[in-house]
Each structure stands twice: as structure tokens, then as C-alpha cells.
Chain A
């Protein structure tokens, strides 16, 4: 009996490793290593032809070694705070619009007869079958005649359009799991439709809202293609600046520094949201 338990635990542990190992290794290789490279690049000088200046033994008169100059430039200039604020504004607006649009859809799917649900989910994901850029270009053709192209409005329309499924799916997965008996109970206790939604369904769906919001907010923050295609003259977001730094000016350290600052800002927001959510849940 005793031996049996121990083998079971051992094989359990092995399974645990086999299941969690590959994603762990994947994250290490494809997230941590690139992040470390960016950290190192962000404290170097740019090379004369792109890439990085040598760490040691640069030619005389040439910069080499470690520097915090890139961070100095970032914090010493309002323009970068401005572009960050603008990007966060666009990301926030996109997330809120997605949420407002996706919630009824997700609720509708979750409350539909089971046999239609898969079909409806499939319809939500169907746009992914065509290339993302083709779909954004289609918006150029739609918005063009109305003189709405090349504007902040067009950027947000494009962003919402592309990211809507990322809000619908987590919301649906969450809403689908709700026990309908809860709503019946609320009704029996005299709650009207609004109260049943606001006091039962909505609080229960908060985890879905948070994961959906994260899936929309973060990619929007780094997006450069949509502002480039649909945006007007002042619709540069931080993603465009990072892209321009790497490709246009071949200034890898500056681009790395910007990417890290963006990551830091996103992490700070995620931490803040998690803290707020915890407080909210505790209060509920």
C-alpha cells in the first residue's frame, strides 16, 4: 500500500514535469533569453552600421562599453512620455469598446442552445482565416469613401475589428461555465433582469473580463501596422517608434530601451489591475 502510493506520487511528479517542462523551456528560450538580450542591448551604444557598438576595445574616438545614455534620453524628453500616453489611450479605448461590443455577443453564444454554440464560436474566429493585413486593407476601402481614412477613428476601428475575437472568446469560455441555477435562484428571490446581470453574471465573469482585456490591451499597445496603414499624421504609437528605431535609424539600443520601458509599463498596469481585482473580489 505504502509502496503503491510512493510510485504513484513519483509517476505523478514525472507527469507534472513532462507536462510543465516543455512550456517552461519554451518560455525560457523565447521569452527570457530575448528579454535578457534586450536588457543588455539597452545599455550599449549603437554601432555605426546598425547593431551594437563593441563592448570592449572600440576604435579610438568611438563609443564602446556600457552606458545609461539611452535611458537618459528617454527620461529627459517629454516627447516620449507623450507618445506612451497616447498609446495607452488608444489601447484603453480599444479595450473598452471591445468589451462593450464583445459582452453581449459572448452572452448570446453562452445562452444559445448547445448545438449552435460551436458554430457561433466558429463564426467569430472565421475572420482569422484571411490574412490580418488583407482585412486591414479592406477597411481602407470601406473607410475611404467616407473620408474617415487616415484618422484616429480609423485606427481605433481597425484595432477593435482585429482584436474583438480575443475579447469574445475568453468571455464566452467564462460565461458558458456559469450555472443557470444561480439565475433561477436570483429570480426566485425577486431580482429583476438587470439585478440578475449586475449582481450575479457580471461579478462571476470578472476573470473573463480581465483575461480578455489583457489579450486586447497588450497587443494593441505594441501594434504598429494598423496605425501605419489606417492612421493619420499624428497617429504614431510607441510600436511605430520602436519599429522606426530598429529599422529606420538602425538604433538597436534605443529600440531595446523603448521595448523594455513598454514592458515595464505593461507589467505595472497588470500588477495594478491584479491588485484592484483582488480588492474588488475581497469586497464582493
Chain B
């Protein structure tokens, strides 16, 4: 059996390879990522080791940084926080910078694995929008600097849903049988217990971090009632399925929906993919740069953080993958098509509806796993 740590990456690579075989591959980014590890600018000596999400730094941005710092940027990738935490727990060292999501930052801080950040060395930190600073996972930003964010929302085939007269602004469309009857077998939801429970809890008017057993049961029942109408629990191929038109509605991440929308437009499909945040609220995942204690070059890491805090560089990320941007100075450089999407850049009112996932205590984790098993077996 494959070690789970490499599995997701392999899945991604395998998907691209299989698609290429079938002759319908969108221009994949996986090839670029593989190059990342061997990229050399010829400058010997200084190296910055960055451990980042797949597809979370534009290649041009990386090159520009290497030129600016006269050093080599060595990248390694993960596809979920658990994979990254597991690798570090297994003793991986030498990473100067990591880009975990909030709850994983919380874990790393609690484990004492991070260096404190000297704010005096980050003059551009002031450009970060205040609503993204001083979060529960790191009060006072003593260990983390915001990098980018995504929202877990609904992506859909705009023409189909309009034709069927279904709402696209509410979780009701993936949970209520009266809507789902028209979408039998055309809906996928995320194969992640935290994310799916968060959506159900939000729809029921609770917090995404609810731990009360009765409320979790309520969410479980809601999910079980809707499940017969869904096509699958899916974590990776919904981008492709949406683009092809096999499914019409997906619960997923905003960055993925951005890619699906782009792919569908590029393939000149007779429909378009749109995405929106349900009015009941959704999950926001804020990824932050942190300094790992085992990293030998915190000086270069500070250079990188300052570089990424620069509006133009930060904007490249949003333009490339459609990620949300916490940097006020980046806004003027972001494509209007990305910036004007209220799903990813909500107004102050919409922003209040977004909630970050917190790490659950172990008893609640086990309880949720029990409910999840029931959902997956029944």
C-alpha cells in the first residue's frame, strides 16, 4: 500500500497522466510543480526551503524572487494539512517556511515547532487587511503572516441550474430533497468530514465548529437524508466532472471552482461554471506563512515573506489560481474578473458569514468520525 503522504500527489499526477492518455487533458500544472524541485538559477550556496501547497506559487513569481534574493528557492509540496503535519511529525526537517491553514498553525504553535516572527523585519505587514490579522490560531500574529485564502462553496453549471430554476445562494440546494430531486446523481460533495459537517451545520444555523452531540446528530441526519441524491463524495475529480458536464453542482473549494470555470471556458463548452457562497455562511481557509524551527535560513525566509507581502507579487497568486487575497496593496493588481467575484472577495457583510475551522478536541474528533462512518456505510 502507498504511504498516504505521497498518495494525494500521486493521485494528482495520475489524474493528469490518465487525462492525457484520453486526449482531453487541460493544460496541467503538475509538470511545472515537478520542475520546481530541480529549478536552479545557477547561484550556488544560499537556498531557501519552502514547503507549500501544490500549485500555490506562480512560476514567474518564484523566478523573480530568486533573482531578487540571489538565492535558490527549493520547493516541496503537500496537498493537505494532515499530510504536512504527518511528515513533520515523522521528523522531516530543514524547511525554512511552511504555509499551513489556520488550524494547522494552531497545532504547530502548540507543539512549539515555530519561530516567533519579528514584526520589525516585516515593514509591509501593515498592508494586510485587519480582518485577517490576529486570528484565533495565532493571537497577535506572533508566528504567522497571511499568505492567501480560499472559501468552501458551491460551484455549478450556470445554465443547467438556471434552467431547472434552482437557487445557487443557499446550502438548501445540496441538502433539501425538494431541490435535489431535479439533480439526482448530478451533485458531488467534498469527501471531508469537517467540510461537509461544516456545510450542514451552517445550513442548520449552527457554527461550523459546533461540538454539541445533539447538533452534530442533526447535521448527520440532514446529510443522510440528502445522500441518496448525490453522485459521490469527491475530493479531487469534481473539477474535471464539472468541466465535462457530468455533474452540475459541486461542494468544493473556490480555487478549484476558479480552475473549473477557466477550463470550461478554454474548452469552449456550451455552458459556463460559476460559483457562489451560500447565504447561510461557509468555511474560510486562511493559509499563513510560518517559520519552522528546523529551518537554517530564517533570514531568507524573511526576504520571501517581504517579497510575498508586496502587492504585485501577492496579486499574481490570485490571478493565477483565483485565491482570495488578504493583502490590501495587492487589490489594484488583481484582475477585475477575480477581484469582483463576491464569492471570494465578499463585502463586509458577507465576510461576517465566513468562519474558519478550528481543530477539534480528540473526543469530538472521534465522535465526528463515528458519524462519518455511519454516513459512509449506510
Q: Which residues of A contact B (CB under 8 A)?
A: 45-51, 73, 77, 79-80, 82-83, 86, 131, 133-134, 136-138, 140-141, 144, 150, 219, 222-225, 228-229, 232-234, 236, 240-241, 243-251, 254
Contact = CB atoms under 8 A, between A and B. Distances in A.
A251 B361 CA distance: 11
B227 interface: yes
Contacts of B10: 131, 133
10 contacts: A50-B89, A73-B366, A134-B18, A141-B21, A225-B1, A233-B232, A233-B376, A236-B373, A244-B369, A248-B192
Given A49-B111, A225-B1, 4 more contacts: A48-B361, A86-B377, A133-B10, A233-B230
Interface residues of B, number: 44
Contact of B362 (A46, A134, A236, A247): A46
B4 A247 contact: yes
B369 A249 contact: yes
Interface of B: 1-2, 4, 7, 10-11, 14-15, 17-18, 21-22, 82-83, 85-86, 89, 107, 110-111, 191-193, 227, 230-233, 237, 246, 359, 361-362, 365-366, 368-370, 372-374, 376-378
A131 B15 CA distance: 11
B107 A248 contact: no
A90 B8 CA distance: 24
Given A79-B374, A243-B4, A133 B14 contact: yes
A241 B2 CA distance: 16
Main secondary structure of the interface of A (DSSP, over half): helix
B15 to A, nearest CB: 6
- Which of B14, B86, B191, B374 has most A Cβ within 10 Å? B14
A233 B378 CA distance: 9
B365 A247 contact: no
A82 B377 contact: yes
Contacts of A225: 1-2, 7
Nearest to B11: A133
B197 to A, nearest CB: 12
B15 A137 contact: yes
A51 B14 contact: no
